[in-house]
Amino acid sequence: MTDEARVMSRVALPEETQVERQLRPQRLDEYVGQRAAVESLRVSVEAARRRGEPLDHVLLSGPPGLGKTTLATIMANEMQANIITTAGPSLERGADLMGILTNLAEKDVLFIDEIHRLPRVVEELLYPAMEDFSVNFVMDKGLNARTIRIPLRPFTMVGATTRPGMLSSPLRERFGIFHHLDFYSGEDLTAIINRSASILGAPIAPGGAEAIARRARGTPRIANRLLRRVRDYAQVKADGTVTPEVAVRALDQEGVDEIGLDRLDRRFLTAIIENYKGGPVGLDAIAATINDEAETLAEVVEPFLLKIGYVVRSPTGRRATAAAYAGLVLLVAGHFSGKVPWLGRLPGDIHIQRGSWTFYFPLATCLIVSVVLTLLFSLFRR
Ligand code: ADP
């Protein structure tokens, strides 16, 4: 993985497990954003506590890094229960799940990440486990085969998925609570960064968190990672404080662009624009063009581009919007602005700074770059 791919990776990097645990909110009150889901879960937890019952089974969906594991941990804490964590692909055989289920204590939370990747045989074991708190175990084979019903202690199942559509309906129907987590607003990400900075003991000046939040792709995991990179940069190249200027310099150096798009996002967009004249084009065709898996694109790339309005989905396929063209031109202009002295500083380029608040839009540069690019494209297309 290149360094740029690592810095914007949506999945946790191997060395991040420890720090993610340290930064993970432990109670509902500490969990920033996702207000609808949090308020509804608060009611469910309180009701279950009053009845002295385990919480109903919960299904959480949403792109990676948005806080599904965190919410599962919080629910276990709020219910004063243990959490047992596993993932769909690691439960290969029925016996793997049986072992876990029979060892659960009352009200324990069983968290299954990537639940849409559960093998069929394991999934079928889950149905009675979730519904009646029992599992059916088949002993012997052929004529001697008999089924033994093993009772389980009442527990809460929390499933997380990036692809809710891939869950079979019998499994989906066994969850009583369903929440979809969406990308975070700049305001929420700023709050998360400020919280993490105080846990890590990183001094942060006004505007520093906002500057990082703008490039974090709406994702807390990326926000926390960028914060740690900026903190290192501030310690080595400045006086240790994360100011907006230091954040911008550090993230520019890391290759994180102003919109927070990574290389895969940009390849996805340029494939639609360059190879399919802006679309509409099917996901499989884009996947083949950029040599990636359609599933990865649907799970981790497309949701953010849809969210920021760079791509729209229609019955005939995906289309790049005018905002995507403008955004890419802005990125190209931004990329060259350090190398070509006049770029980004032409009369007509807007740059307003008021205290911690900055607005930068190189209007004239964008116009010139887009005219030049259009001319080049039409020349090469001939
Ligand atoms: P997912 O399971 O959806 O991939 P995680 O729950 O592992 O995501 O979240 C990744 C990191 O992001 C966590 O370590 C946590 O520090 C941070 N995080 C996620 N959601 C929030 C939130 N709402 N408030 C504060 N921090 C969060």
* pLDDT digits 0-9 by tens, 260-274: 888 888 899 999 998
Centroid of ligand 1 to alpha carbon of 68 (angstroms): 7
| pLDDT score recorded for residue 356 | 56
Could you tell me which residue, 338 or 202, shows the higher pLDDT? 202
Catalytic center residues: 68-69, 113, 162, 221
Q: What is the DSSP letter of 297?
A: I
| pLDDT score recorded for residue 113 | 96
Q: Is the pLDDT of residue 277 over 80?
A: yes
Label each residue of 218-255 as H, E or C: CCHHHHHHHHHHHHHHHHHHCCCCECHHHHHHHHHHHC
Q: Which of 241, 238, 294, 236 is nearest to 268 (CA)?
A: 294
pLDDT in tens, 118-143: 999 899 999 999 999 999 887 777 88
Centroid of ligand 1 to alpha carbon of 28 (angstroms): 12
**For the CA of 62, the nearest atom of ligand 1:** 3
Could you tell me which residue, 239 or 351, shows the higher pLDDT? 239
Q: Is the pLDDT of residue 291 over 90?
A: yes
| pLDDT score recorded for residue 78 | 96
The residue nearest atom 14 of ligand 1, judged by CA position, is 20
Choose the weakest-confidence range: 29-33, 87-91, 261-265: 261-265
Band of pLDDT at residue 357, cut at 50, 70 and 90: low
- Candidates 16, 22, 24, 299: which one to mutate for ligand 1, based on the most atoms within 8 Å of Cβ? 24
| Structural domains of the chain, ranges and CATH numbers in brackets | 34-180 (3.40.50.300), 186-254 (1.10.8.60), 263-377 (1.10.10.10)
Band of pLDDT at residue 258, cut at 50, 70 and 90: confident
Q: What share of the chain has pLDDT > 70, as a percent?
A: 93
**For the CA of 19, the nearest atom of ligand 1:** 14
Q: Alpha-carbon dihedral of residues 305, 309, 313, 319, nearest 10 degrees?
A: -90
- Residues contacting 158, CB < 8 A, separation 6+: 57, 58, 59, 60, 71, 72, 75, 109, 110, 111, 112
Mean pLDDT value across residues 204-231: 95
Centroid of ligand 1 to alpha carbon of 180 (angstroms): 14
Mean pLDDT value across residues 141-155: 89
Show the ligand 1 pocket: residues with CB < 6 angstroms. Answer: 20, 23-25, 31-34, 64-70, 160, 192, 220-221, 224
Centroid of ligand 1 to alpha carbon of 328 (angstroms): 29
Centroid of ligand 1 to alpha carbon of 370 (angstroms): 38
Residue 84, strand partner residues: 110
**For the CA of 34, the nearest atom of ligand 1:** 23
The residue nearest atom 20 of ligand 1, judged by CA position, is 67
Helix (H) / strand (E) containing 158: strand 156-161
| pLDDT score recorded for residue 126 | 94
Buried b (16+ CB within 10 A) or exposed e, 234-254: beeeeeeebbbebbbbbbeeb
Centroid of ligand 1 to alpha carbon of 120 (angstroms): 29
| pLDDT score recorded for residue 354 | 66
**For the CA of 23, the nearest atom of ligand 1:** 16
**For the CA of 113, the nearest atom of ligand 1:** 2
- How many helices, marked H, and strands, marked E, lie in the chain? 17, 11
| pLDDT score recorded for residue 307 | 92
Task: State how far the Cα of 218 lies from the Cα of 62, in Å rounded to an integer.
Answer: 12
Provide φ and ψ at 8, rounded to 5°: -105, 10
| pLDDT score recorded for residue 353 | 64
Choose the weakest-confidence range: 6-10, 115-119, 174-178: 6-10
| pLDDT score recorded for residue 190 | 97
Q: Is the pLDDT of residue 191 over 60?
A: yes
| pLDDT score recorded for residue 348 | 80
Cis peptide before 280 (omega within 30 of 0): yes
| pLDDT score recorded for residue 335 | 64
Centroid of ligand 1 to alpha carbon of 149 (angstroms): 38
**For the CA of 24, the nearest atom of ligand 1:** 16
The residue nearest atom 5 of ligand 1, judged by CA position, is 67
Choose the weakest-confidence range: 50-64, 93-107, 366-380: 366-380
- Candidates 23, 34, 60, 70: which one to mutate for ligand 1, based on the most atoms within 8 Å of Cβ? 70
- Candidates 15, 187, 189, 221: which one to mutate for ligand 1, based on the most atoms within 8 Å of Cβ? 221
Band of pLDDT at residue 279, cut at 50, 70 and 90: confident
Q: Is the pLDDT of residue 19 over 70?
A: yes
Q: Is the pLDDT of residue 382 over 60?
A: no
- Residues contacting 103, CB < 8 A, separation 6+: 84
Band of pLDDT at residue 358, cut at 50, 70 and 90: low
| pLDDT score recorded for residue 161 | 96
| pLDDT score recorded for residue 232 | 96
